[in-house]
Amino acid sequence: MAENDNHYTVDKQQMEEETSFMLEPVTVQNGKVPSKTEKPKAFGLSYLVNEHPPWYLCIWLAFQHFLTMLGSTLAIPFILQIPMCFQGNKLVISEILSTIFFVSGIATLLQTTFGVRLPIVQGGGSLAFVGPTFSILSLPQWKCPDLSDIDLTEVWQVRMREIQGAIMVTGLIQIVIGFAGVVGFFLRFIGPLTIAPTITLMGISLFSEAAESAGKHWGISMMTIALLVIFSQYLSRFDVPLPAFSRDRGCHVIHYPLFRSFPIIMAIISSWIICAIITAAGGFPSDPDNPNYLARTDRELSVLKEAQWFRFPYPGQWGTPTISYAGVLGMLTGLLASLIESVGDYHACARLSGAPPPPKHAMNRGIAAEGIGVFVAGAFGCGIDTTAYGENIGAIGITKVGSLRVIQVGGFLFMIFGMLGKFGALFVTIPDPIIGGVFMVMFGMITAVGISNLQYADMNSSRNLFIVGFSLVFGLAVPYYMEDHMDAIQTGVNEIDQIVTVLLSTSMAVGCIVPLILDNTIPGTIEERGLTGWGENRVSDEPVDEKYEVAPIEVYNLPFGLHRLSKFKFAKYMPFLPYPYDNGQHQENTLRPTLCC
């Protein structure tokens, strides 16, 4: 007999038989390895959020998530290079990129272990914070000077330090919001009619980024899309024979769903190799002014030569951060939009990973953990905050692997890659059209997940049809107008103008605020609004949908024995802890332990 860290006993032979077969995920609950359920897993998942693939599979799946986040992460230093005055400095871009990788690993581990405890990748760069950053750096004192006769290093670093200070203060405010339960309090007013337009607009609003990257060479983009669709949809039902070894069976052949588990990696690598062959054969133009030039794999090789082999990012590496009134107020304009975006991300990730809707205490912890990640990003000097990556949430729906352990392994990989300068610089050579093709599929999945939340509400109701339809159109129309009329808001107070402008320019913010107001003011029954099926405050063991197997509510409990804190009366006053004694009734299931992390 073997004993694990939580003193559960498991039959050793039974465990070996289960783990020797790669297709069977093993979840230890209450001291037993559960037998195969007759119910199919939610969304056809191979691994639910509380199930752990073998370690070697975790590494490959984690690496796939790294590739998925590359597109958004690579964009950050290139977006910042002009306002921060390091345009064309590939070495600086590489160093900032490595810093973002390293901090993303820290933030991901914090979120998945102590935060909301869902398989969410925390990466560098929220769209809500890009606008305020540009607004701060557009002030007269931060205009780029003549770069011919001055120290270029000090020019961009002093601007970076200004942004660092603003981000750190914003992170501290978000930590207070999370631990104080402010977001959890408002969740009682949020139902599927609010979440559905929010998540849907998150996917729709990103189409321009996908189109911009894909448009650099539509042939390569369509090839990547075709490969990804073939691998993830048409070939997902076919298992590939692979060699395997176990002590009981020796060398043998197993049948593994390779296409279903690694479609993104296979599509990216296949397209990357084809682009390299075409580049070597002279099939792509060598003129940098030609849009198709961005399909070449050799256009960023200079970064590999200049990047260091090993570089350890550390807080204050660009100097001591500075804090200014204007900088902090400007950065706060993106905080509300970021919080709304995070709430939508948590619900989308929970649904795709086979978890129940996240309870309030988990949401509060998630916001607080994200705030810690934002503070760390400011201290290290990423130039941007950290936030949940929607494309990685969409990747869960493609790969059908919702395991929390995979993302935790990914957090360690991100930190390692952040210290390997040349390894991180290597991925700068991935052609933009390949990234654009992957984004097309990922953002489509996010949009579909948002729409799927409407299944809980009565969509035969004219009330609900009006709320959803108007929210979607209004959430697209207002930001579209603001793009060409950024000076439309004139209150006489510049800080207020910035706050309102950023909110009205963010589709997710508009698409959340409008249905939130309408759903809570237009008369409607609880059943009509979908709040009974939504189950926001569920604490029972029954799955959200009885037709499918989902993870238990205990997946949101804190690890390492910290769930025992809920036994004490003070937990009632801690919004980030579950309190099972409400109304004088002890609900035992909320106190069940969570295996390690």
Rounded mean pLDDT, 283-306: 83
The reported pLDDT for the residue numbered 415 is 93
Angle at the Cα of 436 (from 337 to 226), degrees rounded to 5? 130
Q: What is the DSSP string of 241-267?
A: EEEEEETTTEEEEEEE-HHHHSHHHHH
123's enclosing H/E stretch is strand 122-124
For the segment 214-234, what is each residue's pLDDT rounded down to a tens digit? 888 899 999 999 999 998 889
Rounded mean pLDDT, 112-130: 82
H helices within 455-577, ranges in order?
462-484, 494-504, 507-521, 526-529, 531-534
Stated pTM of the model: 0.69
For the segment 493-506, what is each residue's pLDDT rounded down to a tens digit? 776 777 777 678 77
Instruction: Specify the range with the lowest mean pLDDT, choosing from 26-40, 83-97, 100-114, 401-415.
Output: 26-40
Residue 567: CB atoms within 10 Å = 12
Using a pLDDT cut of 90, give the percent of the chain over it.
18
The reported pLDDT for the residue numbered 184 is 65
- Say if residue 32's pLDDT is above 60: no
- Say if residue 253's pLDDT is above 60: yes
Tokens representing 512 are 């959340």
Between 488 and 566, name the one with better pLDDT.
488
Rounded mean pLDDT, 183-188: 72
The reported pLDDT for the residue numbered 517 is 92
Rounded mean pLDDT, 7-26: 39
Integer angstrom CA distances of residue 76 from 303, 344, 386, 481: 16, 22, 11, 25
Closest C-alpha to 4, from 48, 36, 52: 52
Beta bridge partners of 388: 122
- Say if residue 489's pLDDT is above 60: yes
Please give the torsion angle defined by the CA atoms of residues 562, 568, 572 and 577, in that order, rounded to the nearest 10 degrees: 10
Rounded CA separation 294/276 (Å): 12
The reported pLDDT for the residue numbered 341 is 75
The reported pLDDT for the residue numbered 533 is 65
Q: What 3-state class would DSSP assign to 593?
A: coil
290's enclosing H/E stretch is none
Rounded mean pLDDT, 45-58: 85
The reported pLDDT for the residue numbered 24 is 41
- Say if residue 267's pLDDT is above 80: yes
Tokens representing 330 are 């400007």
Q: Average model confidence (pLDDT) for the chain? A: 78
Rounded CA separation 469/474 (Å): 9
- Say if residue 376's pLDDT is above 90: yes
Strands 122-124 and 386-388: antiparallel
Rounded CA separation 491/329 (Å): 16
The reported pLDDT for the residue numbered 172 is 94
The reported pLDDT for the residue numbered 2 is 39
DSSP state of 420: B
Integer angstrom CA distances of residue 298 from 163, 288, 492, 588: 33, 12, 50, 60
How far is residue 189 CA from its own chain's centroid? 24
pLDDT band of residue 157 (cuts 50, 70, 90) is confident
Helices (H) and strands (E) in the chain, counts: 24, 6
Rounded mean pLDDT, 564-582: 68
Integer angstrom CA distances of residue 193 from 9, 316, 337, 514: 45, 44, 18, 10
Most confidently predicted of 24-33, 43-52, 220-229, 535-544: 220-229
Rounded CA separation 189/526 (Å): 12
Between 225 and 195, name the one with better pLDDT.
225
The reported pLDDT for the residue numbered 566 is 67
Most confidently predicted of 99-103, 180-184, 434-438, 578-582: 99-103
Most confidently predicted of 167-181, 321-335, 392-406: 167-181
Strands 122-124 and 240-246: unpaired
Between 147 and 281, name the one with better pLDDT.
281
Most confidently predicted of 63-77, 222-236, 433-447, 539-553: 222-236
Rounded CA separation 138/498 (Å): 13
The reported pLDDT for the residue numbered 309 is 86
Residue 549: CB atoms within 10 Å = 17
The reported pLDDT for the residue numbered 64 is 81
Rounded mean pLDDT, 235-262: 78
The reported pLDDT for the residue numbered 368 is 93
Most confidently predicted of 74-78, 330-334, 401-405: 401-405
Rg of the chain on CA atoms, in Å:
24
Rounded CA separation 123/415 (Å): 12
The reported pLDDT for the residue numbered 580 is 64
- Residue 190, φ and ψ in degrees, nearest 5: -105, 125
